[in-house]
């Protein structure tokens, strides 16, 4: 008789060290490379190209899709993970952390679950349902996926200074965008979850495990309703660029007003929906 399934397949694997460590990978491929302390994660290649040209950002060594803005010692990085979803994003963050990053701000698209949200609205994520697989390799299922309070406060401050109104609340993070169902929509709406994305919960749990800080802000790019799905992705690119531009301009100021330094080696207030299954931002499909 088959045993009850578990995920990960080996229970309690987070208690054990990794054979392949990010710092060993970086030492092998980029032995002299150092990165910025704060990194903005952006899952839209067109927006990244626009901002790199606009700011004169320089590439970060051989790490493809990663740039330093502005090109001086006190800098912020902006990078395009090598794919959408939690696995690609967290692998990328592991490498950035090994290069010195200590703060990660995800800026991406998310789908609206709440009927009070419309395309183009901004949502600062204050927690996430862990319905993806990657985070469960870093922490047990009962660990809440919450962002850094101080970094989230910094993001809120940047948006307010830029005159960009926002909502704040939790997101549902999933690995399976084509398996979002009506029953899940009803459940998460009833629990006060505002959005659905593909990275936030893994980013928050990764940050907790690696003792770094993470925050996420979303642009509503599509709407989930019981009658179906309404996409607005391509119309939202200017909005995504607007937010990222504001964060990059403010990026050399750390939470609490200190200048961000280049590294050398390596909460939310609302009720966060806790995962009830053994599996637990943006909804970033815009990579054209």
Domains, the chain, ordered by start:
22-249 (3.40.50.1580)
Confidence class for position 71, pLDDT limits 50, 70, 90: low
Q: Is the dihedral of CA 79, 83, 89, 90 positive or negative?
A: negative
- Find the mean pLDDT for residues 61-75: 80
What's the pLDDT score for residue 10?
86
Q: Which of 64-78, 191-205, 209-223 has the least mean pLDDT?
A: 64-78
pLDDT at 148 over 80: yes
pLDDT at 260 over 90: no
pLDDT at 26 over 70: yes
What's the pLDDT score for residue 96?
96
pLDDT at 81 over 80: yes
DSSP 36: -
Angle subtended by helix axes 149-161 and 237-249, to nearest 10:
110
Which of helix, strand or coil describes residue 275?
coil
Confidence class for position 7, pLDDT limits 50, 70, 90: confident
- Find the mean pLDDT for residues 105-123: 97
Confidence class for position 255, pLDDT limits 50, 70, 90: low
Q: Residues with Cβ < 8 Å from 121, sequence gap 6 or more?
A: 112, 166, 167, 219, 220
Please provide the average confidence, as pLDDT, over all residues in the chain: 86
What's the pLDDT score for residue 4?
57
- Find the mean pLDDT for residues 99-105: 96
Q: What percent of the chain has pLDDT over 90?
A: 74
133 compared with 288, residue with greater pLDDT:
133
Q: Which of 21-35, 114-128, 248-262 has the least mean pLDDT?
A: 248-262
234 compared with 252, residue with greater pLDDT:
234
What's the pLDDT score for residue 5?
58
pLDDT at 224 over 60: yes
Q: Which long-range contacts (CB under 8 A, 24 or more apart) does 185-193 make?
A: 185/113, 185/224, 185/225, 185/226, 186/226, 188/113, 188/129, 188/273, 189/113, 189/114, 189/115, 191/271, 191/273, 192/270, 192/271, 192/273, 193/113, 193/114, 193/129, 193/169, 193/273
What's the pLDDT score for residue 210?
97
- Find the mean pLDDT for residues 105-132: 97
- Find the mean pLDDT for residues 182-209: 98
Confidence class for position 207, pLDDT limits 50, 70, 90: very high
């Amino acid at each position: 008789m088959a045993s009850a399934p578990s995920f990960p397949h080996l229970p309690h694997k987070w208690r054990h060290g990794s054979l392949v460590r990010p710092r060993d990978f970086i030492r092998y491929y980029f032995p002299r490379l150092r990165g910025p302390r704060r990194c903005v994660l952006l899952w839209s290649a067109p927006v990244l190209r626009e901002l790199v040209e606009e700011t004169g950002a320089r590439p970060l060594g051989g790490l493809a899709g990663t740039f330093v803005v502005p090109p001086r010692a006190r800098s912020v990085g902006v990078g395009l993970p090598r794919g959408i979803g939690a696995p690609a994003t967290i692998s990328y963050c592991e490498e950035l952390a090994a290069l010195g990053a200590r703060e990660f701000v995800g800026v991406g698209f998310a789908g609206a679950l709440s009927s009070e949200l419309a395309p183009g609205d901004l949502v600062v994520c204050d927690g996430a349902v862990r319905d993806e697989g990657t985070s469960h390799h870093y922490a047990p299922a009962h660990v809440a996926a919450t962002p850094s309070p101080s970094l989230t406060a910094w993001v809120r401050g940047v948006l307010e200074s830029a005159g960009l109104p926002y909502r704040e609340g939790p997101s549902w993070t999933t690995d399976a965008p084509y398996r979002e169902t009506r029953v899940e929509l009803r459940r998460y709406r009833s629990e006060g979850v505002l959005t659905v994305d593909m990275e936030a919960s893994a980013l928050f749990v990764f940050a907790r495990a690696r003792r770094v800080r993470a925050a996420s802000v979303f642009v509503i790019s599509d709407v989930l309703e019981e009658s179906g799905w309404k996409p607005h992705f391509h119309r939202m690119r200017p909005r995504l660029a607007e937010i990222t531009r504001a964060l990059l301009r403010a990026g050399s100021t750390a939470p609490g007003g200190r200048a961000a330094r280049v590294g050398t080696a390596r909460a939310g207030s609302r009720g966060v929906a806790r995962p009830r299954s053994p599996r637990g931002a943006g909804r970033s499909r815009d990579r054209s």
